[in-house]
Amino acid sequence: MTDEEINALAGGLPNQTVSLRCAVANRQGKRWARVMCWFLSWAVQRDHCELQFTNAPSPWWVYVRAGICFAVAIRTIVWAARWLILALSVLVL
């Protein structure tokens, strides 16, 4: 699944990446976009959202780092969900 497809599934334009959507929303002052741009700047590349307006290609390591961060985030979410299910099952029993 491509970045554009993920953005379209989340309600964005089909020809727009998640990063560009966040950058546009950040310029409009949306709080969720500010948080997401901060995360992308930390996890992927400094000023990642603002660089989306330049149309300059990103270096190869940006894509590798983004993939690693995405994999770690998914693994963390799965881990937290398992612990939540375990905690709820202990409370119910």
**Domain ranges within the chain, ordered by starting residue:** 3-92
pLDDT, residue 34, reads 92
Residue type, 2: T
Tokens of 18: 């998640």
Look at residues 10, 70, 21, 19 and name the one whose alpha carbon lies nearest to residue 47.
Answer: 19
Angle between helices 31-43 and 18-27 (to 10 degrees): 130
First to last CA, the chain: 40
Whole-model pTM above 0.85?
A: no
**pLDDT of the chain, 93 residues: tens digit per residue:** 677 787 788 888 888 888 888 889 999 999 999 998 898 888 888 888 888 887 766 677 777 777 777 788 888 889 999 999 988 888 876
